[in-house]
Structure 1
Amino acid sequence: MQEERRNKVKAAKDEVLGSETVFEKIKSRTPWIFGNTFRKPKILFPDIKKPRMGIPLPGKSIAVIGVYIILFLLQTGIVYLVFREVPALGSYQDGSPRFLYPDINESFIIEGVVASIFIFMCSIGFILLYQASKFVYNKSVAVRYLVVGILLILASFFTLQAMISIKLGNKLFNV
């Protein structure tokens, strides 16, 4: 019974032109290399364990937190603030505090920090959008992550746009 099946399979393969694998083609043309059977050699590898001296490394979360701290400092413009020695806050002529520098090419320290906080909020929103894709089978959790992520992105975007329009001298709501 099994022999009949083998013959049928072999006949079916012979009938279809080009259905042979590369190995079958080589084996049929060079029987003296492979012989009748082809098997994998069994290699026994010795169980050698090298002594290791390991240094304890911090977890991945510590590394991610470190990267975010560095990004936060770079986004605040820390290099700009150190070299230019800009004031932390400004004031109007009547003495009331001014948080946004009137020129688009200059900034106060507080302005850079606030803008960096909103950029950081936007990046957290994108991280939440990514995390929502991990909860495919738990729809309620995924929707919560999506909503919070989108709200963070939109809030930070519109706040930064408002800051830029105020710096350019435009009224915020055209009132």
Structure 2
Amino acid sequence: MSETLQLKFGEKIPWVMGEVIRIPKVKFPEAREGSLSLPTPGKSLILILTYVFLFYLVLGGIYIGIRDTVTVGGDAQGNAIFLYPTTNEAFIIESLVAGFLIYIAGLGFLLLYNATKHSFNYGYAIKIYILGAFLAFAGFSILQYMIGVKSGKIET
């Protein structure tokens, strides 16, 4: 029970403010200055190697490794092209860009998650939310554009 309430009302109404009833104190969260904390790998070599291996899988490393002919990004005449003409195959540079875009969109979702941690610091949370939404939307949109160009639905 709060000591000031006990001193103020304790003698007048002892049956309400006796030892049985306890008035809890409410601790309100304090708005701190914004500090961004993203889940990052520790200093363990195994975690770092796991992230590198996941990036290798996302960019299609196994597919690139089992192909007979590996092309960086060009046609038979030596002209540089970015996207492979069919949807069944991909250039190495195209796979790298797609992998980076997937990671950028993933970073956007991490920022969206981090914005919920700073709900009491409204201005900072909104900034993180807008940046995260932009990164997630941009990564997804550019990937969809690449797929549309490869499938022939979008003219370049």
The interval holding the TM-score normalised by the smaller chain is: 0.5 to 0.7
Which residue number corresponds to residue 61 of structure 1? 42
Contact 1:162-1:172 within 8 A present in 2 as well: no
Contiguous gaps of at least 5 residues in structure 2: 1-14, 16-39
Calculate the TM-score normalised by the size of structure 1: 0.59
Work out the percentage of aligned pairs sharing the same amino acid.
38
Which residue number corresponds to residue 118 of structure 1? 101
Letter in 1 for 2:150: K
Q: Which residue of the other structure, out of 54, 73, 78, is the alignment partner of 1:89?
A: 73
Calculate the TM-score normalised by the size of structure 2: 0.66
Cα distance in 2 for partners of 1:109, 1:127 equals: 27
Which residue number corresponds to residue 146 of structure 2? 163
Q: Which has the higher contact order (CA 8 A, sep 6+)?
A: 2
Summarize the Cα distance change of 1:162–1:129 in structure 2 as closer, same or farther, 3 Å threshold: same
Q: Over the residues paired in the alignment, what is the CA RMSD in angstroms?
A: 2.2
Q: Tell me the secondary structure at the aligned position of residue 148 of structure 2.
A: helix
Shift in Å, 1:107: 0.5
Letter in 1 for 2:71: P
Letter in 1 for 2:93: I
Letter in 1 for 2:103: F
Letter in 1 for 2:74: G
In terms of fraction of residues, the more helix-rich structure is 1
Contiguous gaps of at least 5 residues in structure 1: 6-58
The structure number with the bigger radius of gyration is: 1
Q: Which residue of the other structure, out of 110, 124, 141, is the alignment partner of 1:127?
A: 110
Shift in Å, 1:82: 1.1
Letter in 2 for 1:72: F
Letter in 2 for 1:110: I
Letter in 2 for 1:89: G
